[in-house]
Structure 1
């Protein structure tokens, strides 16, 4: 179930990019469509290198997706009340481990890339007074039904720039699923124990599975 969830989510993330220098982070809709264009192009161009070394997908995720992901805010959302009273160093370590885990998870899901198309919802006005917005996308995977996805974005009030902090696939939130999965261990064994698990998962090599 979780693997399928990641597959749905990343089938969408992989189409994102157009040179970080050219993408305007102050416009959430344009940012998302621009990242999609760049990432798709790079995935297509590097298929030969990726087939020889699937870990190249980690490089693509690091360079093309992570600049647009607010992993620190996402990590704090996953920690929830467990972050209160915790050592700052432990929380920072969890953030870095969570970031590495996201990179590896996205990279693994991108092995499922089969040139799917994305259909973004029409651009809508963003309320300047709000710091949270969303962009909806359908993954066109004919002849199967479209997969409905929604990216949640948060605005940095200091810079006015937006970043993704959560992804919802068919109504299932990535952050909510991780909160449920890790909440017990966070309470019982602490932040560093979960961070260690995330580091171990992140260190696993990327492998192609099943049909290409």
Structure 2
């Protein structure tokens, strides 16, 4: 069950952060963004399934090309740093953001090896107040062999471009950013931002390989 929830997290994280170049997705509406990206992103995975199964390392390219351009990595990284962000130098914050980017690429690529054509349902668009800068969009993942999984995507509006970007996702109420912040807080306080960034860089080099799913 744990691997299934983790797989769901990564697969739908791709939905809020990817776009197929051949089609333009309206990023000025978070609901339309997620729904459009879901259709496009899953089509790519399905069309090239055999290639990704034969060489999972190719999933890194999928993540870099289709996911990362639509994730506000710096905003997410600073949230993970928490109070340490103010104590760190600009160079340390930049290094951690770059390391966090690489970590996300590796993590999403690894988790996407668990994708097996799950059905995805995105909630219908709602009216968004003009003064709102953060919204949550619900997505349900349905797999015939497992209970449905609810995810709530957090998206933040860029005031300059008026476009939305994903920065966090809650799986059954558990925040990805909060989890990582809690996991790394002790190391950040003890070893510093640079040391943790270097550790993330090394962890990001781990090979991508499909793991056996738990029943």
TM-score, structure 2 length as denominator? 0.92
List runs of 5+ in structure 1 lacking aligned partners.
none
1:28 to 19, 27, 30: 30
Deviation at 1:211, TM superposition (A): 5.2
Question: What is the aligned length?
Answer: 212
TM-score, structure 1 length as denominator? 0.94
* Structure 1 partner of 2:45: 43
Query: Is the 1:6–1:109 Cα contact (8 Å) retained in structure 2?
Result: yes
Q: Distance in 1 between matches of 2:14 and 2:119?
A: 11
Q: Distance in 1 between matches of 2:128 and 2:6?
A: 28
Deviations 1:159-191 (A, max 9, x none): 111000001001100000001000000011000
Closer, same or farther in 2 for the Cα pair 1:4/1:146, shift >3 Å? Answer: closer
RMSD: 1.9
Query: Is the 2:19–2:67 Cα contact (8 Å) retained in structure 1?
Result: no
Closer, same or farther in 2 for the Cα pair 1:211/1:6, shift >3 Å? Answer: closer
2:94 to 76, 92, 99: 92
Q: Distance in 1 between matches of 2:147 and 2:196?
A: 36
* Structure 1 partner of 2:7: 7
* Structure 1 partner of 2:66: 64
Deviation at 1:143, TM superposition (A): 4.0
Deviation at 1:209, TM superposition (A): 1.2
List runs of 5+ in structure 2 lacking aligned partners.
none
Closer, same or farther in 2 for the Cα pair 1:144/1:211, shift >3 Å? Answer: closer
* Structure 2 partner of 1:206: 208
Q: Distance in 1 between matches of 2:14 and 2:100?
A: 19
* Structure 2 partner of 1:148: 150
Whether 1:125 and 2:127 are equivalent positions in the alignment is: yes
- Runs (4+) of structure 1 exceeding 3 A deviation are 1-5, 13-18
SS state of the match for residue 125, structure 1?
Answer: coil
